[in-house]
Each structure stands twice: as structure tokens, then as C-alpha cells.
Structure 1
Amino acid sequence: MTLGPDSFPRGFAWGTASSATQSQGATPADNWWEWEQGGKAPLSGSGNDFDTLYASDFRLLSDWGFSDYRMSLDWARLEPQPGHRSRQAVEQYQEILQAGRRSGLNMWVCLLHTSLPAWFAAEGGFLSPQAADLWARHVDYVAEVFGDLVDGWMPVNNPTGYAEKAYLRGTFPPGRSSQDEFLRALHAVHKADFEAALRLRQTGKLTSTNEALISLHPADESEDAMAVTALVDAVIWDSWLRFARTPRYENAFDQYGFSYYFSAAVNASGEFLPYPAGNAAGPQGYVSWAPGLGEVLDRLNSELPGKRLLVSEIGYGGDDDIARAAYLPAALGQVRNAIAAGMDIAGVHFWTGVDNYEWIEGFTVPFGLFDRNRVPRPSAHVIQSIIRG
């Protein structure tokens, strides 16, 4: 697919995204460290060495044509014990944000990307009665200390995905498999996201969601498959849209961002099957299918008419860079078509710039346009040519 120089509007944001644990590695102060030490995930080590290479990474991305960078400020590093802030971590993150801005990047900050402080997790995480107050205290602290260095806020990364992995599938800490706990955590984390946005808007900087969205299709024409698909759809979509439509939160976010990786067929047992059927699935079991991104954009535009959107994550996981170099332009074609249809789309952030730690897959499923040695893959050249028209 060829994208012409006029495909994207002036000021369209081209970014990459990362997280603290994935780029810096876990810290003994967070609950992912214990998860690793217990053999439930590969060791993250120093991540992709971001702590020592961040300045040159920012220059690389800026030189390559990117305008935005999203990172997370690790709550556990900032507050390793309740009420005790690490001056070293604060100064390090201040320097990182300054380095990104010196390189000409707009710095987006996420406050929660999977890992929790061990002390907060021990109290029950977001299921604790004290969670809302502890979270609000942390949000206000981050806003005060880092607000002048941040260009945009993305409070919680993929709330639904987090709740599902932690409380339903049990693949992330605390490793629970309880439908009741999942539904309570889902509500609590979505509420934490919207409450944080209200507080962060007071800094005068942009706020954006990052919902994990999927285009769902019944696996067959049976009534059971269609009914279960509707239930799963309600979890993925309605669980946060009901917040977005309430008077308290309807203006909490300046734009609605989302991550898209795949579409899925849902059978009568609630299992996700690769979609479209017959297409080769990647190493994480799903098909990277670009038209599904168009379906998600159409659905969002219908659910939230007139709202500004952001494709806050798209990426291709695996060693097949030929497939990555084909998939990403096809996905961008869906974005281009949506803009041509009149949708207000602020930009696209790729997952990810530099290969990093991918949670339970460790370092075995690369997503980067650059490898961990900062060598560009052919797909990076493809994306650069699109950015530069």
C-alpha cells in the first residue's frame, strides 16, 4: 500500500510508546519483581538499557522523524515505601523528561503500566478500601513534581487488559482467577483512570485514555456464540464507555486513545480464536489484521461522535519483519481512510521504538522498529518514509 505525502494532516503526531518495567526492568520495590523471582515470568534485568541510553534513544527517534514519546513513571520507584518518596528516582525521571524535550519530543506520561508498588499490592491493590485515596495522593504528587515537564497524560495503560490478566486469567500478579474480583477490579481501575484524568487536567496538559480495544466476531452463527460475544463486548467496551458518558467524567479526557493489536472470534465458551479464520497467527496466538483497526475506529466514532481520537498503540510482535513492514502501512491505511471520512485523529504511537521486555514472553517476542542494539529494522525505514511523506 502506498501512502501519499498528503495522507496525514499537518501536525499529525508520530510517536512510540514504552513502559518503565519493560524498558528499565523490574525493581525490588514492585510486585512484578516478586513475580519474576517466583519463576512466573522471565527475568527482566535492565530491560532494554533505557536507564543508560535514554538520551541517545530520544535523539535517534527524533532524528528518525518521530514527534512524541510515551513512557511511564514507575510508582514503585517513586514511592518504594508508603509515604516515602525516592529523591534519586524523582531526579532521574526529571532528567529523562528533560532529555526527551531537549530532543524535540513531546513527552507523554503514564502513571500506571501493570507494575504496582509491592506495599500497595500487599494491601490489596485497587481492591483495597484505601486504594482510591492512595491513588489520588500519588496522582497529585506526580502532577506537582513533573507537571511542567509533561506534554500529555495517559493515566492508566489498558485498564481492561490489566484487570483481565491479573484477576481473571491469572497470568499477571496477583495471579487470581475470580470473575467477581475481575469485575470489581475492572470497575476500580477504570474509575482510577477517569479520576486521575480529572486531577491531571488541572496541570493544563492534554489527557488521553489508552483502552485495549478489540473488534469481536461470533465464531459461528449459534445463539450461544452470539450471546457470549455480546457479553465479552460489554466488558471490553461498555465497562469504560459508561464512565465516559457520565456528567462527572464526560470532559475528563481531551482525547480517547486506544491500543489495537488484533480482532477475535468468540466461541460459545468465551474463548478467543484467531480472526479471520485461516490466517496465520503470530507467536502470541492472534492474527495481526489491519482492517480490524478500521472497525475499531468506526465503532469509536459511533460511540463517541465528535471526540478526538488517538491510536495510542499499534505494533507487530515477532521475528518476521517482512510481515511487520507489510502490516504497519496497512494499519496506517486504515487511519488514513478514517481521517478522509472525517474522523478527528490526533496521531499514531507505535509499540515500540526499541525492543524491550514483553512480560511473560520475556525478550522472545520483539516489537521494536529498532532492535536492542538500536539497529533499525527494514520496517523502521518503511515507517520513516511514511512519516516523511
Structure 2
Amino acid sequence: MSVLGERVAAGLKFPTGFVWGASTAAFQIEGSTTVDGRTDSSWDAFCRRPGAIAGGDTGDPAADHYRRYREDVALMRELGLGTYRFSLAWSRVRPDGGKVNPPGLDFYDRLVDELLANGIRPWATLYHFDLPQALEADGGWANRDTAYHFAGFAEAAAERLGDRIPLWSTLNEPWCSAFLGYGSGVHAPGRQDPEAAVAAAHHLLLAHGLGMAELRRHAPAAESGITLNLYPVQGPDPEAVRKIDGLMNRLFMDPVLLGRYPEDVLADLAPFGFGELVRDGDLGLISTPIDMLGVNYYRGYEVTREPVPGSEPAGPEWIGAGEVRFIPDPDAPRTDSGWQVEPGKLTDTLVSVHRDYPHIPLYVTENGAAYPDVTDADGQIADKDRIAFLDAHLRAAHAALARGVDLRGYFYWSLLDNFEWAEGYAKRFGLVHVDYETQRRTLKQSADFYAKVIAANALPGL
């Protein structure tokens, strides 16, 4: 461990019992995509499309976690993580969306037991973007039947693991699955079909409700919920803010927590048949009470409909959001992904959920940044930008606590450098550096900093 983090003392204390963790996703770290009965996911197929992934990268070997999970759990223990959030690969558990595959479930059995043996609580996410390709061939999330296939997957996972996993998320970021996968086509399955994107959004939420029923049945003592990527949307133009906030946030928050879709968003999506998708009983399932909400936060959105030099559309052209533009801040620091670093908007996001919706415990289930790794003269990876990012966002989380938000925990994204979707291996988000040639793991100085924060349950004084 380096001297970084030695200054961590009782500067800003977090509540007793505050959960400290890190998150990953199966396709991004596991590798071993053809072993023990696993079949293709939509991401395996997408990676084979020319030009789909930077550098022509694929999900194998990724970080080789399938074979190196014990080593990775040992790193978690060294960091002092209290909880580890990971996802289950549907194509391992029920290959092609069909029968249960015991060897695939055996892997998660081993992982969960290893975590528990090291004093780390498992948090399982059932779905993090990797739909079995056989189900995608039948229409994927645009097909209502996929939601019922998901219920079967949830049943198999919870029946086998529900006695040992105390925290579950049904879905991770359904906005991405629907609109990046079926609308813009930059994520798997790479479709550009407005009607399919809108249908996918509803069917994903229906799958959440059906999955909650299986979790209640087979893991009744667990805390279960959903994880959404939320964005504070601000700007000088109320109509621009309304449209993007509706598409990004309220389309998913309102049915889950209020039992209804927002009327203005229904009107925006009516030309794409959204109203015809919602059947009697659907919203009752979708609004099944949840125990907690996971909030993934990376950046905010400031938008306008006025021409802005050098700006990009803030939403898909096909819903009229292409007329809305981001307002860039030329002075804001940016990550290696080009995203503005806006820690204060994490506070805004958490406070708005606390203010605008019925009370629900919140967790920051993802927050992180990609930066190039630089090795210093001592052989250490001195990722000072990531330390600054982490420090600033933890202060923002603490500020939300000070304003009365029921925030229960924070999870950094990601534990390991990994396959970063369409960016392939070009972007590094990890606390742990992965040499993809040798699979050697190296703790970065940000890992040292985070470990010291966890041990103190506090941020350093300024």
C-alpha cells in the first residue's frame, strides 16, 4: 500500500453500517464464453459484427474472472469490501433461454460461497445486458415473451442461490438495454428500430415485475429491487428538460415507484405504439413493492433546444429529442470517456429521488471513471485523477446524507478493468489494473485510497 490515503481520518464520517462495495458485470469480466454449457449471448453475437466494438475486441477472455474468481475475491478482502455486486450470465444459467444448466449455476455457487467465506456479502444482479442470443433471434426484448423467459431465469437463480444472497437487483439500467440496444444500435443487439426500442422498455419493466415475484418466492428474506441509471437533467429550456427527463428518468421511475407511466411521456411515445403495449395488470406487476433502489450515476445532462456550437443531440432523433442539445462546459474536467466530471449532480440526483418519490432506501450501485493508467517510477499505478473523482463523488454522496437522503451504501464501478461494451478494452475503469496479456492484477493507488476510506468509514478532512 502507498502513502496515499494515510490522511484519511474522521473528516466526514458515514453512518454506522454504511455499505462499501464495488460492482462488475458477467460479460465484462468472466470470459470463458464457451465452457460448461454456456451459449452465445446477444453481446457475443454483436462482437462479431465488423466495426461494432473498438479494436474488434470480444468478451473472451475479458478479465478471466471465471477461472480467477478466488484471486479476485482475495483482492476484495484486501480492499475491505463489505459487499460485492456482480451479475449472473443468463446464457450460463439457462443456455439459449432453455433448460437450467447445472454447471453454469455451479460457478455462481462457488463464487457466492467464496465471498461468504471471506466475509463479503454477495449482491446479485439478474440481468446486465447479456440476453441469450437464441431469445434475441426470436425478437429479443421487443417480444413480450422474453419477459416471461426472464421470470424462468430468475426462478432458477433464486431457487439455487436465494438462501445465501441477501441482496438482489432484477435489472441493471433498462434504459441502456432498450434505447442503446434497439434504438441507436450502439449496444447489442445493434438494432435501430424505434418501435422495438419502445417495446423493449416496457417489456424490460414487465420482466422486472415478474422477476420480483420469483425473488419474493425463493429469496423472501433478501432485499430486492432494481438498478436504474439516473441523470439530473437541467437547462434553461423547460420543454427540453421535460422531454429528456421523461425519457431518461421518469419513464422507468414512475411505473416502478408510482404504478403509472407519465402522461407526457406516453404522449411522446404514442407514435411508436407504446400505449398498445401496456396490458391490464402490467403496471401492477411493475410496481410490485421493492426494498431498495440502486442508482447508477456517471454524469449530468444540461440541455437546450437552442443551437450550441460543438454540441451533440441529447436524445434520439426518432422521438423528437434530436432537437434537444447538450450544453457543454468547456472548462469542466472530463474522463477518458469524454464525460464531464460533475460530482455535485450526484447529490442532486439522490435528493430528487428522495424528494419526488415515496420513501425507498437508496444505494449508489455504480459510480466510476475511465482514465489511462500510468505507472510511476516505483512501479505503482498513480491514478490521481481517479482518486480525485472518487473523493469528490463520495463527498457528494455524504452531502446527500446530510440533506436527509436514506442512502445506505456506495459501490465503485468497477472492481477490475474490463470489457467496456462498445469501447472494448480501450477504457479502464478499475480499481485493479488488469494486464490483458498475462491477466496479472495490480492494485492501483485509487484502490489504496478507497481501502482507507472503507476502513475509517470516513473521508479525509480537507
Q: TM-score range by the shorter chain?
A: over 0.9
Q: Which amino acid aligns with 1:338?
A: A
CA contact (8 A) 2:30 2:65 kept: yes
Q: Deviation digits for residues 171-223 of structure 1, max 9, x if unmatched?
A: 112222233222221121122123312331331211132100111223xx4xx
Deviations 1:231-254 (A, max 9, x none): 110012211222211265555311
- Which of 211, 224, 232 is the matching residue for 2:228? 211
Change (3 A) 1:348 1:195: same
Aligned-pair distance for 1:278?
2.6
State the shift of 1:305 in Å.
Answer: 4.3
Which structure has more relative contact order (CA 8 Å, sep 6+)? It is 2
Larger Rg over CA atoms = 2
Per-residue deviation, residues 5-44 of structure 1 (Å, max 9, x unmatched): 6611111110111111001135552121111122322222
Residue of structure 1 equivalent to 2:107: 92
CA RMSD of aligned residues (A): 2.0
The aligned counterpart of 2:142 is 127
Indicate whether 1:384 and 2:451 are aligned: yes
**Could you tell me which of 252, 272, 276 is aligned with 2:289?**
252
Q: Distance in 2 between matches of 1:241 and 1:65?
A: 32
Mapped contact 1:15–1:348 kept (Cα < 8 A):
yes
The structure 1 segments of at least 4 consecutive aligned residues displaced by more than 6 Å after TM superposition are none
Unpaired segments of 5 or more residues in structure 2? 1-6, 260-283, 306-321, 374-382, 435-439, 457-462
Aligned match of 2:192: 177
- TM-score w.r.t. length of structure 2: 0.79
Deviation at 1:301, TM superposition (A): 0.7
Q: Which moved more, 1:204-213 or 1:245-254?
A: 245-254
Q: Which amino acid aligns with 1:241?
A: M
Number of the residue aligned with 1:306: 359
Per the normalisation by structure 1, the TM-score is 0.93
Give the stretch that moved more between structures: 277-286 or 333-342: 277-286
Q: Which moved more, 1:17-26 or 1:194-203?
A: 194-203
Q: Are 2:243 and 1:231 aligned? A: yes
SS across alignment from 2:431:
coil
SS at match of 2:441: coil
Alignment of 1:144-293 (within 5 A): 144-202=159-217, 203-204=219-220, 205-218=222-235, 221=236, 225-243=237-255, 244-246=257-259, 250=287, 252-268=289-305, 269-270=322-323, 273=326, 275-293=328-346
Q: Look up the match of 1:51.
A: 66
Aligned counterparts of 2:398 and 2:157: Cα–Cα separation in 1:
35
Question: Which amino acid is the alignment partner of residue 42 of structure 2?
Answer: N
User: In structure 2, do the counterparts of structure 1 residues 317 and 272 end up closer, same or farther at CA, with 3 Å as the change threshold?
Assistant: farther
More displaced stretch, 169-178 vs 356-365: 169-178
In structure 1, C-alpha distance between the alignment counterparts of 2:171 and 2:325, rounded to whole Å: 24
How many residues align? The count is: 384
CA contact (8 A) 2:230 2:297 kept: yes
3-state secondary structure, aligned to 2:411: strand
SS in 2 for 1:156: strand
